[in-house]
Amino acid sequence: MIRPLFTILGVTLILGALPAPAQRAEAKLVRHLDAVYQHWRAAMLTKNHTKWKTITATHRQISITNRIHSERRPVASTLFSLPAIPPDTRKLKLLDAKVKGITANLSFFGPVDFGVEGVKPPDNLLTLSFVREGAGWRYDTADYVNLAVLPEVRQQLAAGQLAHFKQPEFTPKGSVVQPMVTLRGPVKYIAKTYVYCPGREVKMSVNKVSRHLYQNTKESEIVIGGARDGRNEVQFAITSLPGSVGTEPLAIRVYLLSQIQGTKPIKIFQYQVAEKNKVKPFGTEHFLVTPAIGKQILGR
Start-to-end CA span in the chain (Å):
66
Go through the domains of the chain in sequence order and give each one's CATH number: 5-170 (3.10.450), 190-298 (no CATH)
- Give the C-alpha separation, 154 to 148, whole Å: 8
- Give the C-alpha separation, 297 to 300, whole Å: 8
Per residue of the chain (300 residues), give pLDDT as tens.
222 222 222 223 333 344 454 456 678 889 999 999 999 999 999 999 999 999 999 999 999 999 999 999 999 899 999 888 999 999 899 988 999 999 999 999 999 999 887 888 999 999 999 999 988 999 999 999 999 999 999 999 999 888 887 788 888 999 999 999 999 999 999 999 999 999 999 999 999 999 999 999 999 999 999 999 999 999 999 999 999 998 999 999 999 999 888 889 999 999 999 999 999 999 999 999 999 999 999 887
Going across the sheet that includes 250-257, the strands are: 218-222, 190-196, 250-257, 266-273
pLDDT confidence of residue 19:
46
What lies within 8 Å, CB to CB, of 163 at 6+ separation is 156
- Give the C-alpha separation, 79 to 274, whole Å: 40
Residue 273: CA atoms inside 13 Å, Cβ hemisphere, count?
Answer: 17
